[in-house]
Amino acid sequence: MMNDPFARIRPWFSGASLLWPVLGLLTLLVFNAIYAPGFFRLELRDGHLYGTLVDILNQGSKVMLLAIGMTLIIATGGVDLSVGSLMAIAGAVAAVLVTQAALPFAAIVGTTLALTAIAGTANGLLVAAVGIQPIIATLILMVAGRGIAMLITDGQIITFEHAPLVFVGNGHLFALPFTVTLVLLTLGVTSLATRKTAIGLFLESVGDNEKAARYCGINTTLVKVVVYAFSGLCAGVAGLIATSNIKAADSSRVGEMMELDAIFAVVVGGTALTGGRFTLVGSIVGALLIQTLTTTMYNLGVPPAVAPVPKAIVIVAVCLLQSEKFRQQITSWFGRRQA
């Protein structure tokens, strides 16, 4: 035992994938604790928590939601590039409805989410029924979706003061931003559905070997369409949050490039782009990692033109740690040193 000082650490380098994103996140937090005084300061204001950590949860909620949907798609071996544009559509529809139609709020949310879920279904049909490569199938809606959103809002930024809609992105529940509740709810329901029923197994089997899954009697087309529809739904909720947060539907800018953040969160979280095994919690940690990184740049006062460089370094480091080959290399170095 004493001869091998790395005995405790060694299994980490070859073991569970969730460890690395968590370690990355912790490193960032420790870094902030040292260099950014006040990072962990939390106070109670008007009955809710107030501080940088709360901001990270709140601002990160959009990518977390997108990442939940994206994880399931990536598990089936696909990818969804249209989520950013779907956020724009959701925001546009909701803003137009609250400003121009006297509908109950539930109906407005229902219409909005139904629309994005239908758009997601269309993606799924293109992928599963028509057989188009996911990256191309969803690219169509990524490009067209923003145009549709601009059409809905007539190219203008629509502002609103509708109290229930404003609450979605700005309200508080249980002393935390309401968005945290939304994320936890979505995560809880998705985890239960994928881990306590056979759905998770279906997803992984489709991602691992679609043909084998079909021969086993799994309706692979249906599985795929459902995950794309679900991703559309998640994008809809994220779009509502983003729009509500600034009390305006900014169709041309909302959710821009966020599809890439979501994919990054999923991959860093430990789900491989090749499909198969997936971890929802890992994706959430990945999303938190991105948001913490962004906030850290603000806190340190890194000039915005330079900020992408340190961000990229952290991202590369975490991705390297995720790579099994790279870890084996490190392990062998440790092994040699002991001998």
Q: State the nearest-atom distance from the C-beta of 114 to another protein, in Å.
A: 25
Q: State the nearest-atom distance from the C-beta of 305 to another protein, in Å.
A: 4
Cβ neighbours around 6 below 10 Å, total: 14
Cβ-count burial of 219 within 10 angstroms (0-12 exposed, 13-18 middle, 19+ buried)? middle
| Cα–Cα distance measured from residue 166 to residue 176, given in angstroms and rounded to the nearest whole number | 15
Q: State the nearest-atom distance from the C-beta of 246 to another protein, in Å.
A: 5
Residue 259: closest CA among 58, 59, 63, 112:
63
CB of 287 closer than 8 Å to CB of 261: yes
Which C-beta is closer to another protein: that of 38 or that of 217?
Answer: 38
Residues forming the site for another protein (CB under 8 A):
36, 38-39, 41, 45, 50-52, 55, 59, 155-157, 159, 170, 242, 245-248, 250, 252-254, 295, 297-299, 301, 303-305, 307
Can you point out the beta strands (E) in 191-307? 248-249
Cβ neighbours around 254 below 10 Å, total: 27
CA of 175: how far to CAs of 115, 165, 270, in Å? 32, 19, 31
* Token representation of residue 166: 């404003």
Cβ neighbours around 121 below 10 Å, total: 17
Which C-beta is closer to another protein: that of 130 or that of 309?
Answer: 309
Question: Angle, nearest 10°, between helix axes 178-195 and 280-300?
Answer: 150
Which C-beta is closer to another protein: that of 23 or that of 36?
Answer: 36
Which C-beta is closer to another protein: that of 10 or that of 48?
Answer: 48
Q: State the nearest-atom distance from the C-beta of 138 to another protein, in Å.
A: 22
Q: State the nearest-atom distance from the C-beta of 294 to another protein, in Å.
A: 8
CB of 80 closer than 8 Å to CB of 70: yes
Q: State the nearest-atom distance from the C-beta of 295 to another protein, in Å.
A: 5
Which C-beta is closer to another protein: that of 60 or that of 286?
Answer: 60
Which C-beta is closer to another protein: that of 52 or that of 123?
Answer: 52
